[in-house]
Structure 1
């Protein structure tokens, strides 16, 4: 591009972008796309890298800088001055963070004033910044630069040496990255200087080798098998072949394969972390501060290489207000009460004991108050989640029917105690979900049969539906519906579901002409409901006129 936009031109474009002008956004995008690339190259030219490596790194720097630009667009207002100056601050900041991640993998804070440990890295390989040769030379230069002024404070015990090595492996290795024995030695030197200001010479290669091998023997299974794969704490190249065991059992004078390529096995894989973080972000059970805290703790269990679009290094990138749920609008502290209810109920279910509680309702002032002074006593059998509501299913005392209660509307939940202070055992009934013999009970089927968690007796109901609209049924009944062979007009099917006859009336009205109930008794009830609604809204319309 010939030139960058002036401040006035940028300001004018920003105003149009805020109004939703697509052409203005495309122009602004093109201008800053080139500008972010320029800022990336400006930072990168300070390093003595081959062009191939530079191209590889520059793309990551651009992505980081582009995130900075987007943040600037979102946060800018006229009172902050010129947008270009404001945006450059964000762009350069993100690029610097990415560079620091690349060239400062241990997250060191007290680094030497000069950048010789970085600038002297000269590379000729074609594989990218994380290739073994690249990292080895980088770590060597870092160690040399740090060691210049660090005093010799003495050697470390074997126990501390193991802990230091584990710390480095946790930070810099994972399912996709490992460290050679040589890299580990160089990083150990940097680690000690940074953390302890100790420039004592590194232990001999034989000592480090012995430390690593003893550590592996202690942390890992004695022999490899698929069944024991999950028991490994630190893996190495050839661990599935028992290379370490074979080395120690070899004949004297016979050469064995070197033990290298170490990687720490973290509690969670990258895929598991992704899913856990998504669950926390999309949950309505946590307040924003709790989500930030939990996600930060989860990320801390991984290596420095883990990245998620839901976290920018400081806070969540998902808007907590984007969740529609009961708990998302509750007052601070009430979520903890609901979570506490779940804890007590699950304890009671595990131990087959009764609970008592009060049941509540909401007022016009958004207050939750007891429906009455009545204290419910329940033999809790199961906890289920139905359309984002938590329910406790169980047998109500002095009532042989199965009931279910919304957990978030329960308060003062306690385990029932007798006069001697012992927990009162649950009562048993011939219910399919009897906790004593419920191995075949299907909670999904129960919820499908109790549409909107109604209490009436389920019955088989025939529904006519377009053969392209099965998602509607799946959303409400899961896999618990069955297509029949009953003749039907082209493009439609007759489907059988077993569910609440009361709630299916309102369900059918909700979906209008998308579904049609075929059972005569329920059709009549739907007609009666529609006539009553027509009368109500006709009267309302007449009053308005």
Structure 2
């Protein structure tokens, strides 16, 4: 029950009602607003007060339409934008189911009750692939602070055991210079440099726990192999399809042009393409060798490595090993 100050905040209560109960298909009459003020806030007012307060809100810049009733037209996010963000949250493997639901609840505050009813089915559509590490959000916050301050971090890195539970991968904790956090293929990664080496390393953030920010300054990017000229995030993701560490190399492969969607999805648009015979194309690209190896093993039926010869031999040997296992 609202007290004597209700009249002073009546315009904000009306705004809340319009946010929650109205859209272009659900317009509120003055009496509807009066009834909702009473049922939800214990507030009473006259029709004239409703009209005057809505006019005041319009003068403040709120896009309230008065046509056969009232509704709030423009919001912070459209329904389509909210749905896209909610779908992205639930398909992300970087956070737990509980954290996903908490984030969605926060986003729903930017919608109305009709939108919430439309997306309620998503809440039970968990894929079962969400992260099990309960400290992901804390890890992200700590790493973000370390990146901002230019400090090294120490953390425990986890991996699954045969009991299907997460355990420390090593007895010792990792010391890493953190540079950037990125999303790739539904997973969230930290790009950094492991203290004992001088190249790039990647860490799944849903495997990182117990993050400690150290006093030591992180290594300068220019001293890390692959980051001498800074970090081009889009290019880095394209060259590290499966987030393997190590420097990228140039490759040339032959494939049918029907594979173009897959090539662009995985390697981006930084490709040099020439036609070979018929609808075949020869593609020049740059990629991490381990990532490229696994990509070719996946799409080997549709693509052939032209060069370098060392990768052709590696694929040939792997194919023979698989053949021997199944013959």
Is TM > 0.5 for Structure 1 vs Structure 2? yes
User: Deviations along 1:349-399, whole A, 9 cap, x unmatched?
Assistant: 122221112333322222333333333222111112233332211233353
Partner of 1:235: 64
| In 2, Cα distance between equivalents of 1:379 and 1:191 | 55
User: Deviations along 1:39-80, whole A, 9 cap, x unmatched?
Assistant: xxxxxxxxxxxxxxxxxxxxxxxxxxxxxxxxxxxxxxxxxx
Partner of 1:396: 194
Is the 1:169–1:264 contact (alpha carbons within 8 Å) kept by the matching residues of 2? no
| In 2, Cα distance between equivalents of 1:523 and 1:384 | 31
Q: 2:252 aligns with which of 445, 451, 462?
A: 462
1:277 aligns with 2:82: no
User: Deviations along 1:430-489, whole A, 9 cap, x unmatched?
Assistant: 25647xx84xx421211322342233432111111011122332332132322135xx22
Cα offset for 1:490? Answer: 1.1
User: Deviations along 1:484-518, whole A, 9 cap, x unmatched?
Assistant: 35xx2212100111112344334323323211000
| In 2, Cα distance between equivalents of 1:526 and 1:352 | 41
Is the 1:481–1:496 contact (alpha carbons within 8 Å) kept by the matching residues of 2? yes
Structure-2 change in CA distance of 1:175 and 1:273 (3 Å): farther
Is the 2:271–2:285 contact (alpha carbons within 8 Å) kept by the matching residues of 1? yes
Is the 1:384–1:390 contact (alpha carbons within 8 Å) kept by the matching residues of 2? yes
Cα offset for 1:342? Answer: 1.9
Is the 1:356–1:378 contact (alpha carbons within 8 Å) kept by the matching residues of 2? yes
Structure-2 change in CA distance of 1:196 and 1:405 (3 Å): closer
Structure-2 change in CA distance of 1:187 and 1:356 (3 Å): same
| Runs (5+) with no aligned partner, structure 1 | 1-153, 221-231, 239-259, 418-423, 539-545
1:427 aligns with 2:219: yes
Partner of 1:136: none
Q: 2:184 aligns with which of 373, 386, 407?
A: 386
| In 2, Cα distance between equivalents of 1:502 and 1:390 | 20
| In 1, Cα distance between equivalents of 2:164 and 2:95 | 19
User: Deviations along 1:100-124, whole A, 9 cap, x unmatched?
Assistant: xxxxxxxxxxxxxxxxxxxxxxxxx
Is the 2:92–2:187 contact (alpha carbons within 8 Å) kept by the matching residues of 1? no
Structure-2 change in CA distance of 1:279 and 1:386 (3 Å): closer
Q: 1:528 aligns with which of 317, 321, 325?
A: 317
Structure-2 change in CA distance of 1:483 and 1:271 (3 Å): same
SS across alignment from 1:469: helix
**Residues 332-351 of structure 1 correspond to what in structure 2 (within 5 A)?**
334=133, 336-351=134-149
**Residues 242-257 of structure 1 correspond to what in structure 2 (within 5 A)?**
none
Structure-2 change in CA distance of 1:402 and 1:503 (3 Å): closer
- Count of matched residue pairs: 321
The one of the two structures with greater contact order (alpha-carbon pairs below 8 A, sep at least 6) is: 2
Is the 1:164–1:188 contact (alpha carbons within 8 Å) kept by the matching residues of 2? no
| In 2, Cα distance between equivalents of 1:190 and 1:159 | 18
1:191 aligns with 2:36: yes
Q: 2:120 aligns with which of 290, 308, 311?
A: 311
Partner of 1:133: none
| In 2, Cα distance between equivalents of 1:157 and 1:533 | 75
1:504 aligns with 2:292: yes
Partner of 1:518: 306
Cα offset for 1:308? Answer: 5.5
Partner of 1:358: 156
Superposition TM-score, scaled by structure 2 size: 0.81
User: Deviations along 1:406-437, whole A, 9 cap, x unmatched?
Assistant: 223323211003xxxxxx32221425647xx8
Greater helix content: 1
**Residues 433-448 of structure 1 correspond to what in structure 2 (within 5 A)?**
433=227, 438=230, 441-448=231-238
Query: More deviation in 279-288 or 363-372?
Result: 279-288
Q: 1:481 aligns with which of 268, 271, 283?
A: 271
Q: Which has the larger radius of gyration?
A: 1
Cα offset for 1:337? Answer: 1.5
| In 2, Cα distance between equivalents of 1:491 and 1:193 | 70
SS across alignment from 2:111: coil
Is the 2:91–2:186 contact (alpha carbons within 8 Å) kept by the matching residues of 1? no
| In 2, Cα distance between equivalents of 1:261 and 1:380 | 51
| In 1, Cα distance between equivalents of 2:97 and 2:64 | 37
